[in-house]
Amino acid sequence: MNDEFINREYLESLSFSDLSNLADKYGIDVPDNLDRRFLISEILEIVEEFNNEEDDMQIASDSDVEEFVLPKNYNESQVSCVLCNPAWLFVFWNISENDYKSIKDDGCVLKLRICSMENEVENKPKEAFEVNCSTTSQEQYVLLPQGERFIKVELISVLPTGINVLAFSPIMEIPQVSSLEDNLKLGTESKYSQIVQLSGINEMLMEQYKNHRQSFI
């Protein structure tokens, strides 16, 4: 019997033995002294739950699937960065089809220009250096210069005739530390107060060197 045709009227027409067999199909344990009305109610409830589960598991047909539309900024040249620690910057970027074609056709060199900024609003960098990157990659780690507070990253294409800025990141502020911590160097003699020495600063410096050696480069 199809589940769609199991209703109260149909169940009322069955004998208790047939009801028990049907209940067994749905895994319902039927005691010998169970009231017939309770058994019918149990079967109806289980059948309804079973049908609801089947409806939830139905896979939508191709005609029901909405067309996937890429966001408008997907085909734009963009560059972003994440500060791993005060020494290392993780840079990732995307190049539009037009810019990629121009780079390939013109034989440009793709680079990242790391700009040290005076403050958060200054547009012109006070210093900058360039890092070569591959057109087949979209991410790179960059070692930051020491003592800088504000950094901006530019994605540029370089030709003998000049430089074209494809994209640039927002200005990022690098967290600053106290001069005491900033001057910590393994192997150099530093004078600490007795209170600072009680903190175990020499042991902490050694552990920092072992686990994060790139910060001391």
Summarised one tens digit per residue, pLDDT across range 35-57 is 777 778 888 888 887 777 655 55
Residue 169 confidence (pLDDT) = 93
Bigger pLDDT: 35 vs 73: 35
For residues 203 and 133, give the distance between their C-alpha atoms in angstroms, rounded to a whole number.
38
Which residues on neighbouring strands pair with residue 194, listed in sequence order? none
Phi, psi of 172 (to 5 degrees): -110, 135
């191709």: which residue's tokens? 62
Give the integer Cα–Cα distance in Å for 96 and 104: 12
> Coil, strand, or helix at residue 141?
strand
CA distances (Å), 23 to each of 18, 49, 55, 90, in order?
Answer: 9, 14, 21, 62
CB 128 within 8 A of CB 91: no
60 pLDDT band, cuts 50/70/90, is very low
**pLDDT tens across 106-161, in order?**
888 899 999 999 988 888 889 999 998 876 778 999 988 888 889 999 999 988 88
Distance in angstroms (rounded) separating the CA atoms of residues 93 and 155 = 8
Using the predicted structure, report yes or no on whether residue 210 has a pLDDT greater than 50. Answer: yes
Q: Please give the Cα distance from 27 to 21 (Å, whole number).
A: 10
pLDDT computed for residue 216 by the predictor: 45
Is 92 or 211 the better-scoring residue by pLDDT?
Answer: 92
* Nearby residues of 45 by Cβ (< 8 Å), 6 or more positions away: none
Confidence tier at 4 by pLDDT (50, 70, 90) = low
Complete DSSP assignment for 77-110: -EEEEEESSSSEEEEEEE--HHHHHHHHHHT-EE
Is pTM beyond 0.85? Reply is no
Non-local CB neighbours of 81 within 8 Å, separated by 6+ positions: 89, 90, 91, 92, 151, 153, 169, 172
41 SS3 class? helix
Mean pLDDT of 152-173: 90
pLDDT tens digits along 176-204:
765 655 555 556 666 777 887 788 877 77
